């Protein structure tokens, strides 16, 4: 049990009660909020408040790590592109892309469903084309029609989608351009890490699969005081690839505490990594027309760059 999860084994006298009743008995109004946001799990499955508990079952109530549920409501300004088959968003830092154990509704996909339902009276069958970390901002692409799913997935898997990111990293890299290829995979403890390129293909411990190649090209854009703005072009799409590669080079992203980045800069407290998905280039999965999807630098980048850097 973590500090953000309350686990309870259902007693015989509690059998037959609803999840909502038991959650309120265990945690009062907090339990009610948890159930309302989809944070109640019974024997490892997410359940509604009307589900009945049985003796010996395990009820887990998950709270948000920061104790707050986001009110994520999209507006037309949040859409970067839309047609019959696709929709792209200007994802903001701090937005979860999908549901979390503690919240079914405060994420991009759920908010997009609510947006379409309000605007059109119907929700299209949304499907994520790719993923962005919670604190990574920028272009996030989804399909709106099943016909687009297979060609879109094939384009990403076949590396036919060009992805350009902007990042603010710590220090001053001694290079103007750096072409980095490494191995990538999980460590024994489950975290992602960089491996030597020569180990690509080797089996990882504890069922972690094999070491895979990760390839990023970095270019310095501008030097700041004790920080540098860089572009990163991904040639592979591994989990946390840019974050890991910059940390491997000794210049972790500002705010990326997980990989050694500073959490304070220029008088600002940094709550997450400064990484922005600036561009996606791909052929439209249905029409074949070239698409260039862009997202301008968000306010938290602008604040550290003095507000004057062009988007």
Q: What is the pLDDT of residue 310?
A: 43
Identify whether 311 is part of a domain: no
What is the distance between the alpha carbons of residues 95 and 234, in angstroms, rounded to a whole number?
22
Same domain for 144 and 84: yes
Domain count across the chain:
3
What is the distance between the alpha carbons of residues 260 and 129, in angstroms, rounded to a whole number?
29
- Residue 262 pLDDT level (bands cut at 50, 70, 90): very high
Same domain for 95 and 30: no
Q: What is the pLDDT of residue 307?
A: 52
Same domain for 182 and 256: yes
Active-site pick, 78, 133, 135, 256: 133
Q: What are residue 275's DSSP bridge partners?
A: 136, 167
Same domain for 101 and 138: yes
Residue-wise pLDDT tens digits, 160-202: 999 999 999 999 999 999 999 999 999 877 889 999 999 999 9
Residue-wise pLDDT tens digits, 121-167: 999 999 999 999 999 999 999 999 999 999 999 999 999 999 999 99
Closest CA to 32 of 17, 49, 15: 49
Identify whether 292 is part of a domain: no
Identify whether 310 is part of a domain: no
What is the distance between the alpha carbons of residues 32 and 19, in angstroms, rounded to a whole number?
10
Same domain for 255 and 202: yes
Q: Yes or no: say if 144 and 128 are a contact pair by the CB < 8 Å rule.
A: no
The CATH number given to whatever domain includes residue 46 is 3.10.290.10
- 111: domain range? 76-157
Identify whether 281 is part of a domain: no
What is the distance between the alpha carbons of residues 20 and 16, in angstroms, rounded to a whole number?
12
Domain boundary pick from 62, 89, 106: 62
Q: Yes or no: say if 176 and 219 are a contact pair by the CB < 8 Å rule.
A: yes
Identify whether 9 is part of a domain: yes
**Other CB atoms within 10 Å distance of the CB of residue 29:** 8
Residue-wise pLDDT tens digits, 10-67: 999 999 999 999 999 999 999 999 999 999 999 999 999 999 999 999 999 999 988 8
The CATH number given to whatever domain includes residue 98 is 3.30.2350.10
Catalytic residue flag (residue 103): no
Residue-wise pLDDT tens digits, 264-294: 998 889 989 999 999 999 999 999 999 999 9
Q: What is the CA angle 279-285-286, rounded to 5?
A: 135
């Amino acid at each position: 049990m973590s500090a953000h999860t309350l686990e309870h084994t259902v007693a015989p006298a509690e059998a037959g009660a609803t999840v909502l009743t038991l959650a309120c008995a265990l945690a009062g109004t907090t339990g009610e909020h948890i159930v309302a946001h989809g944070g109640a799990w019974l024997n490892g499955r997410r359940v509604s408040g009307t589900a009945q508990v049985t003796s010996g079952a395990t009820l887990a109530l998950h709270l948000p790590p920061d104790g707050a549920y986001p009110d994520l409501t999209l507006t037309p300004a949040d859409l970067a592109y839309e047609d019959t088959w696709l929709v792209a968003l200007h994802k903001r830092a701090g937005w979860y892309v999908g549901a979390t154990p503690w919240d079914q509704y405060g994420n991009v996909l759920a908010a997009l469903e609510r947006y379409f339902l309000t605007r059109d009276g119907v929700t299209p069958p949304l499907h994520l084309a790719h993923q962005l970390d919670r604190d990574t901002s920028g272009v996030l692409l989804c399909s709106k029609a099943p016909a687009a799913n297979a060609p879109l997935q094939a384009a990403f898997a076949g590396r036919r989608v060009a992805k350009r990111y902007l990042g603010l990293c710590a220090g001053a890299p001694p290079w103007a351009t750096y072409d980095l290829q490494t191995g990538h995979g999980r460590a024994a403890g489950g975290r992602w890490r960089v491996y030597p390129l020569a180990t690509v293909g080797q089996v990882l411990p504890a069922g972690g699969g094999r070491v895979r190649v990760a390839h990023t090209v970095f270019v310095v854009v501008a030097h700041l005081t004790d920080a540098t703005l860089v572009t990163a072009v991904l040639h592979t799409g591994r989990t946390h690839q840019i974050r890991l590669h910059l940390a491997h080079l000794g210049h972790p992203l500002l705010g990326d505490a997980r990989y050694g980045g500073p959490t304070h800069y220029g008088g600002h407290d940094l709550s997450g990594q400064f990484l922005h998905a600036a561009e996606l280039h791909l052929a439209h999965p249905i029409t074949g027309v070239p698409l260039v999807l862009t997202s301008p630098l968000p306010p938290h980048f602008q604040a550290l760059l003095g507000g004057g850097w062009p988007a």
